[in-house]
Amino acid sequence: MKFSLQIKLNAFAEWSDHYMNYSNLKRLIYRIEKSLMSNVALPATSHDQAVVEIEGEDEINEAAPLLTPINPADADALFTQALDKELNRVVTFYREKEEELFDDVHQFEVDMSYLDAGQYMRRRSVPDLMQSGLLRDLEQEERRANSDGEETSPSHPPHALSLPMPAIGPDSGSSTPPIISGSPRTSGGGRQPRYRAKSESFAEWTDPVPPTSETRLNQTPPRAGPASADTYTSTIWDARNYKGHRQRFRRRAISLYVSLKELEKYSELNHTGFQKILKKFDKVTGRKLLNVYTFNKLSRAYPFLADTITGLSREISRVITHYARISTRNRPGDAKRELDLNLREHLVWERNTVWRDLVAIERGRGNVALKALRSKEDKPALPYAIKVCGRSVFIVYVPQDVILPVIKMLVCLAILPAILYSPIGLQVEAQSCLAILSFASALWATETLPLFVTSLCIPFLVVTMRVLRAPVAGGQFVRLTPKEATARIFADMFSPVIMLLLGGFALASALSKHHIAQWLAQIVLSRAGSSPRYVILANMLVSTLFSMFISNVAAPVLCFSLIAPILRNLPSKSPYAKSLVLGIALAANVGGMASPISSPQNIIAVNNMNPPPTWLEWLSISLPLCLVCDFAIWILLLVAYEPGRSTGEHAPAPPSLYSTHTPMKWTGTQMYVVFVLILTICLWCGERVIEPYVGDMGILAIVPLVAFFGTGVLSKDDFNSFLWNVVILAMGGIALGKAVDSSGLLAELTKQLLPHLEGMSVFQVVATVGCVVLVITSFVNHTVGALIILPVVAQLGTALPEPAPRTLVMCTALACSAAMGLHVSSFPNMNAISVEDPTGETWLTVSDFITRGIPASVVAFVGILSIAFGIMNLMHLDGVK
């Protein structure tokens, strides 16, 4: 991995602008190399190099005089100048941050000392203390502290305490105690106190005890033990009524520890960067600047001095010592382990999204080469002899992982001629289309080719086998020529449904990129606490909610990243972990029913419903169904796994997720994204009203695309990262549906199926077709099942004695999402089966899906037949009575 990328991945987000600019230095090295090799003039300063980057290197080179030869010492001087500039920037920031953090540590100790000052008091009876007002003041302050927000996030630690404390030191007899403050420094370098101590000190109403070996300031308080009922003990860090203050100091210590460790990593990362860039300069130019610069400047820079490093380590140790007094009964080893755990969780949570995005790009670049390398190394080729007349002519070595796909491909290819030339009594167009349908279904079911590649094959086969027809006079049809069929099939493929899909992708990208989805998840999950049963329910609801807006393809990935800190702290095969992962996957399947853009099968359903349902109609049917299914599946998981019994009353929770939520500071861009989201959904919901002006929901999907990409909220890279494989898959399904309709195959299939449905009511037809679809899509991907079945179902619904095509199509689409019995049934299930524990083993097995997924499928299907069908009946979606 390139070091410039390592800096991005490991940089502390708030300090990202203060790290050394490794990329600029590397570009300068290549500029120097080019100058040395081609005798082009060197930039006079590093500033001139920036001008080259802005104005273009060719224009600068044309105007630059040639120097023959170039003195290599000039290259050293130029690069040294650039290094000095970066080094000064790093040193300046380090000094400022070190001073700020050291002051915070000092203020933290001062605040602790004031609270510890209670140990100077004599033990006095409770009535005396009540008369003096001490306990009353302490209780009032405790209540005030709790009401001000006891659960402040570690990233915003409280700094001050307004307790009546005695002045410490030679002026302890003074009646005015010092100001207690720990707020961040102001722009002028001073500190703005948050609270001011009361005007009276302890000395006014009680006599301080002189410090002795037993009552020395900052002495470790004794462990809490049984205290007399009529005496007041000053063991502040063990007292129950000081729980709020103890938690405040604990969070401050955690925040200081994390910041100091980040400063330590900042120093190490920049030092490594300077070493690497100097090595690169020497390697590229052939110079020997590394040792000279390191000895003269780098090793003498303030952040890299031995005394500086020792001083920082000393401050970290002091924080550990204080944390031990506060939280671990003066056990530094336990304190360090707790602090390291907080540090580790904090870093994972803060950087998880950055790692995922950047590393995904890096993996994508090397994916093909990596797969090829693994296939050669891990699976050796097998020899196959090619014989002629019984004698081996030559030997071919075939990789093992190629044999099975080749066999499957040959079987699928054999389907084409087998059906094409079978005497089944269909017209030539319909028989050709049946061959294409069977061939595509076999490829999709076996996944011999990637799903979207099979979709790309469909328009090619449709055109070359001439399955499209056009009506002519007299109710007859004529086959289209390849040229006419090409124009028609491509026009059908890019339908308004595809624009609806792209609009949904744009909304999902904006919500994710600008952290609105993460913020919303924090709000929901912050109410869950740490009880396993409520954590599972909260994550399931978040998974369903996200599926509604960012599709159930992407929602599980986000949800699994949210629970990663929990999973890291659970043992392998933990029932709690299994129920969490499986709950998110099953809830995402349920969320696939929630909106027209929540899953690919819904997009296909909308395309087969005439007229397409509005968002308001769809949500009126799906939301009650999704809520009931989520709660029913939640109860099923609690009964099946008993997560509370396996983990005790409470379980590990990621930092900042399940604690009190800290309000996000909204930016103008985030508010703009939310405005466009609400506007788009409102337009979709009211599409029927404005249909004479816009024609279709697909046109309204252009609104978020233009609003986000036109204003820079989303970039070209975001557009390139859309799930284009899903788009192509949907387009292939539309092409297949149009071919089945145009060729006459759809009418023929309907004619053959209708006799089996005679005498059935609409409800019975829905139940029968739904059961068949539920079984099929448990073994075949939801999207693939919808592509194959929904066009037939739509025609079947039209031909019923009591026509109900929209009801039948929508119930069938919902049944596709309800199939969750196997790990291959849907995108959420495939994501869930790949989530691994710290040992590299997957949390879930196929048996988990069979034993819990099949009952969940039955529960969801019963909900479709009762809740969804009942609402459709009340809405008269097709005039159903």
Which of residues 220 and 741 earns the better pLDDT score?
A: 741
C-alpha 185/C-alpha 601 separation (Å) is 56
- Rounded CA gap, 782 and 816, in Å? 5
- 3-state SS string over 148-169? CCCCCCCCCCCCCCCCCCCCCC
Query: What proportions of the chain, in percent to the nearest 5, are helix, strand and coil?
Result: 70, 5, 30
Instruction: Give the pLDDT of residue 533.
Output: 85
**CB–CB of 776/590 below 8 Å?**
no
In the predicted structure, residue 865 carries a pLDDT above the cut 70: yes
Average pLDDT score over residue span 255-266: 88
| pLDDT surpassing 60 at residue 231 | no
Which of 124-133, 549-558, 622-631 is predicted most confidently? 622-631
| Alpha helix positions (H), 387-481 | 400-420, 428-446, 451-464
Cα separation, 171 vs 216, whole angstroms: 17
Separation of alpha carbons 814 and 773, rounded Å: 10
Only one residue has tokens 């050293």, namely: 76
Model confidence over 441-455: pLDDT tens digits?
888 878 788 888 888
Residue with the larger pLDDT of the pair 418 and 574: 418
The string of pLDDT tens digits covering residues 746-795 is 778 778 887 887 778 889 889 998 898 888 888 777 877 787 788 888 88
279 confidence band (pLDDT: 50, 70, 90): confident
* Model confidence at 298: pLDDT above 50: yes
Give dist(CA 203, CA 81) in Å, integer. 60
**Of residues 179, 167, 159, the one with CA closest to residue 245:** 159
Question: Would you say 877 and 810 are in contact if contact means Cβ atoms under 8 Å apart?
Answer: yes
Check if the beta carbon of residue 875 is closer than 8 Å to that of residue 617.
Answer: yes
| Strand stretches in 549-590, DSSP E | none
Q: pLDDT category, 185, cuts 50, 70, 90?
A: very low
Q: Is the pLDDT of residue 332 over 70?
A: yes
Most trustworthy range by pLDDT among 138-142, 191-195, 372-376, 498-502: 498-502
What's residue 528's pLDDT? 65
What is the predicted pLDDT for the residue at 529?
66
Rounded Cα distance between 785 and 791, Å, is: 11
Residue 481 CA: distances (Å) to CA of 107, 420, 436: 84, 19, 18
Q: How many CB atoms lie within 10 A of CB 716?
A: 8
Secondary structure of 688-734 as H, E, C letters: CCCHHHHCCHHHHCHHHHHHHHCCCCCCHHHHHCCCHHHHHHHHHHH
The domains of the chain are located at 378-493, 496-875
State yes or no: pLDDT of 488 exceeds 70: yes
pLDDT band at 38 (very low <50, low <70, confident <90, very high): low
**Cα Rg of the chain (Å, integer):** 35
The DSSP 8-state label assigned to residue 236 in this structure reads G
Give residue 312's pLDDT band: very low, low, confident or very high (50, 70, 90): very high
Higher-scoring residue by pLDDT: 219, 300: 300
Helix ranges (H only) for 366-399 are 367-378
pLDDT at 443: 86
What's the maximum distance between 2 C-alpha atoms anywhere in the chain?
115
Is the pLDDT confidence value at 114 over 60? yes
**Residue type at 193?**
P
Asked whether residue 720 carries a pLDDT value surpassing 80, the answer given is yes
Q: What angle do CA 122, 125, 131 make, to 5 degrees?
A: 100
Cis peptide bond N-terminal to 611, omega within 30:
yes
For 51-67, the pLDDT digits (tens) are 444 344 444 444 344 34
The whole-number pLDDT of residue 879 equals 61
**What burial class does residue 16 get, using C-beta atoms within 10 Å of its C-beta: 0-12 exposed, 13-18 middle, 19+ buried?**
exposed
Structure tokens at 562: 């949210």
Which tokens is 776 given?
């099929």
Nearest to 543 by CA among 602, 489, 599: 599
DSSP annotation string for 241-310: GGHHHHHHHHHHHHHHHHHHHHHHHHHHHHHHHHHHHHHHHHHHH---HHHHHHHHTGGGSGGGSHHHHH
Q: Which two tokens stand for residue 326?
A: 């506060």
Angle between helices 306-327 and 332-365 (to 10 degrees): 120
User: What is the per-residue pLDDT for 463?
Assistant: 93
Report which secondary-structure segment, H or E, holds 638: helix 615-641
Number of other CB atoms surrounding residue 106 within 10 Å: 13
Does the pLDDT at position 188 exceed 50? no
Q: End-to-end distance of the chain based on CA atoms, in angstroms?
A: 64
Long-range contact pairs involving 224-231 (C-beta distance under 8 Å, separation at least 24): 230/125, 230/126, 230/127, 231/123, 231/124, 231/125, 231/126
Looking at per-residue pLDDT, the higher value among 286 and 710 belongs to 710
3-state secondary structure 821-837: CCCCCCHHHHHHHCCEC
Tell me: pLDDT of 15 over 80.
yes
What pLDDT score does 556 carry?
Answer: 81
What average pLDDT is seen over the chain? 74
Give 727's pLDDT tier (boundaries 50, 70, 90): confident
Question: What distance in Å separates the CA atoms of residue 346 and residue 154, rounded to the nearest whole number?
Answer: 10
What is the structure's pLDDT at 88? 93
Looking at the predicted structure, is the pLDDT value of residue 711 above 50?
Answer: yes
Confidence of residue 302 (pLDDT cuts 50, 70, 90): very high
Predicted local confidence at residue 95, as pLDDT: 93
**pLDDT surpasses 80 at 341:** no
d(CA 39, CA 42): 9
Q: Shortest CA distance to 120 belongs to which of 225, 229, 197, 221?
A: 221
The number of residues in the chain equals: 881
Name the residue with higher pLDDT: 865 or 648. Answer: 865
pLDDT at position 633: 94
pLDDT, residue 499, reads 85
What percentage of the chain reaches a pLDDT higher than 70? 70
Which token pair is 100?
Answer: 């700020």
* Highest averaged pLDDT of the listed ranges 160-174, 409-423, 436-450: 409-423
> What pLDDT does residue 47 have?
52
pLDDT digits (tens, 9 = 90+) for 561-591: 777 767 766 777 788 888 999 999 999 999 9
Task: Quickly state the pLDDT bin for 32 (edges 50, 70, 90).
Answer: confident
Helix (H, G, I), strand (E, B) or coil at 14: helix
pLDDT of residue 23 exceeding 50: yes
CA distance 34 to 624: 67
CA–CA separation, 757 and 800 (whole Å): 8
* Share above pLDDT 90 across residues of the chain, in percent, rounded to a whole number: 16
